[in-house]
Amino acid sequence: MNDRLDDLVRQAQTLDPARAAALGDPQLRQRLLQEITTMDTSPQPAAPPARRTWRLVAVTAATLAAAAAAFVLIGLPGQGQSPPAAATSTPASATPAPQGDVFGGSASCVETYSPQALRQRAFAFDGTVLAIGQTDPTKVETSPEVPVTFQVHRWYRGGQGEQVTVAMMPPGAITSAGDAGYGIGSRLLVSGEPRFGGRPLDDPIAWSCGFTRWHTATDAQTWQQTFA
């Protein structure tokens, strides 16, 4: 017991002002220190129960105080540890995926896009652009479109096979239909008609006015239901 009390006294006496402040109430710290340092540690006859109880309380309070000081000081910035760095995160700044009409504008349309109008198209598919050809210089005045080859993920109507080439306005072409902003790797929902009639893929041309759209899960589901 004497060794333990000596150790507690040493801990209390070596606290610097900054560490002592971490213990809380200054009056309580002073009173507790006085009780510890003035405690009679010489051998004495057995004390009555009340005396033994008080001594136990005093020792317990001192132990708790020392433990509290150690606990608080471990977490105090500037007392042997650096404060944890503030967590930082850089929000993603990805451009939202495009949606709606690939040509991004309005024009004088024969039909306005709707599920009912879409159902009348000769061909329709979900595909990713693999290649974009050049405008035929001999037809540029009457047919400014370019051949665009697609990897087909799903046929909704009018064709079969893994690839198909259809005529479309070239990327970046600004016309009355808008600006075709697609490119290699773009995934689109494409529908249209054969240019001069006939079977669905006889010189097929993709329609604008919303009938050729950026692929989204919502539109793909609409197309699936429309052509079911």
Q: Could you tell me the sign of the dihedral formed by the alpha carbons of 98, 99, 101, 106, in that order? A: negative
Q: Give the per-residue pLDDT at 27.
A: 63
What residues contact 13, with CB distance under 8 A and at least 6 apart? none
**Residue matched to tokens 């606990």:** 71
Classify domain 115-226 at the CATH topology level: OB fold (Dihydrolipoamide Acetyltransferase, E2P) (2.40.50)
Q: Which of 25-39, 127-141, 164-178, 184-198 has the lowest mean pLDDT?
A: 25-39
Alpha helices in 93-208 (DSSP H): 115-118
pTM of the model: 0.56
Query: Could you tell me the pLDDT band of residue 202, with boundaries at 50, 70 and 90?
Result: very high
Amino acid at 50: A
Query: Could you tell me the pLDDT band of residue 104, with boundaries at 50, 70 and 90?
Result: confident
Q: Which of 57-61, 108-112, 175-179 is predicted most confidently?
A: 108-112
Q: For 71, list phi and psi in degrees, rounded to 5.
A: -65, -45
Q: Could you tell me the sign of the dihedral formed by the alpha carbons of 146, 115, 213, 123, in that order? A: negative
Q: Give the per-residue pLDDT at 189.
A: 98
Asked whether the beta carbons of 220 and 126 are under 8 A apart, the reply is yes
For residues 204 and 163, what is the distance between their CA atoms, to the nearest angstrom? 13
On the question of pLDDT at 79 being above 70, the answer is no
- How confident is the model over 140-161, as pLDDT tens digits? 667 789 999 999 999 999 999 9
Query: Domain-by-domain residue ranges, the chain?
Result: 2-75, 115-226
CA dist 141 to 135, 136, 166, Å?
10, 10, 18
Please report, to the nearest 10 degrees, the dihedral formed by the alpha carbons of residues 212, 214, 220, 226 taken in order.
-20
Query: Could you tell me the pLDDT band of residue 75, with boundaries at 50, 70 and 90?
Result: very low
